[in-house]
Amino acid sequence: MSETKIQIVLFDGFDELDAIGPYEVFDTAARLDAALTVELVTLAETDAVRANHGLCIEPEGTLTDPDVVIVPGGGWNDGRGGAREQVARGELPEAVAGLHATGTTVASVCTGGMILAHAGVLDGRPATTHAGALDELRESFESVESRSERVVDDGSVLTCGGVTSGLDLSLQLVERIADGATADRVAMRIEYDRWTA
């Protein structure tokens, strides 16, 4: 069985838990013998990335050709750069759109959903984002079926609400990649009560 390659793409101003929570879920699953790998990456080579709350992270490489890419949010609702700045620059939405077009499963945590919306991958799909950005998603992207749900799984595109819902999205992906028992074991290891639809 081939390993599922998961990359979590970081950028200056990303929210720490949006990325680190999913990373721990996937790494824990891999330690429980799930057939997956996880990496923290950036679009371009850099020595370090500074997150929204000041955490500094050394990425493991650059975004390549993952089976799954996770896009965190951060800074959108308080205007502190982060996801909003990534949308303004355009490179990350373009990269996400390109990966999705070639078959990569695309997922977002929190206001990373706004990056996916600007990438066009949410067009005609159900999706969610942080509650503080949901009205903006509804008003700016009429083709997106915005939902006030914790996790929205639409096959090749998954979105979730604010911060901690990234744990639920990640556990759902672990269940998809491995099985429900593995996802339950991960949840037990991190002492987290799983959300279920």
The tokens for 147 are 């939902």
Q: Does residue 73 lie within any of the structural domains?
A: yes
Instruction: Quick: pLDDT tens for 138-183.
Output: 999 999 999 999 999 999 999 999 989 999 999 999 999 999 999 9
Q: Does residue 196 lie within any of the structural domains?
A: no
Q: Does residue 79 lie within any of the structural domains?
A: yes
State mean pLDDT over 75-88.
Answer: 91
Q: Does residue 154 lie within any of the structural domains?
A: yes
pLDDT at 1: 64
Q: What is the CATH number of the domain that holds 91?
A: 3.40.50.880
Question: What is the tally of structural domains in the chain?
Answer: 1
Query: What values do phi and psi take at 126, rounded to 5?
Result: -75, 145
pTM higher than 0.85: yes
Q: Does residue 197 lie within any of the structural domains?
A: no
Instruction: Quick: pLDDT tens for 17-65.
Output: 999 999 999 999 999 999 999 999 999 999 999 999 999 999 999 999 9
pLDDT at 80: 76
Q: What is the mean pLDDT of the chain?
A: 96
State mean pLDDT over 185-193.
Answer: 97
Q: Does residue 194 lie within any of the structural domains?
A: no
As a whole number of angstroms, the distance between CA 154 and CA 158 comes to: 6
As a whole number of angstroms, the distance between CA 16 and CA 10 comes to: 9
Q: Is pLDDT at 119 greater than 70 in this prediction?
A: yes
Q: Does residue 148 lie within any of the structural domains?
A: yes
Q: Does residue 137 lie within any of the structural domains?
A: yes
Q: 44 is in which domain, residue-wise?
A: 4-189
pLDDT at 196: 77
Q: Is pLDDT at 136 greater than 70 in this prediction?
A: yes
Query: What values do phi and psi take at 45, rounded to 5?
Result: -60, 135
Query: What values do phi and psi take at 186, rounded to 5?
Result: -60, -50
pLDDT at 112: 98
pLDDT band at residue 79 using 50, 70 and 90 as cut-offs:
confident
The tokens for 154 are 């639409």
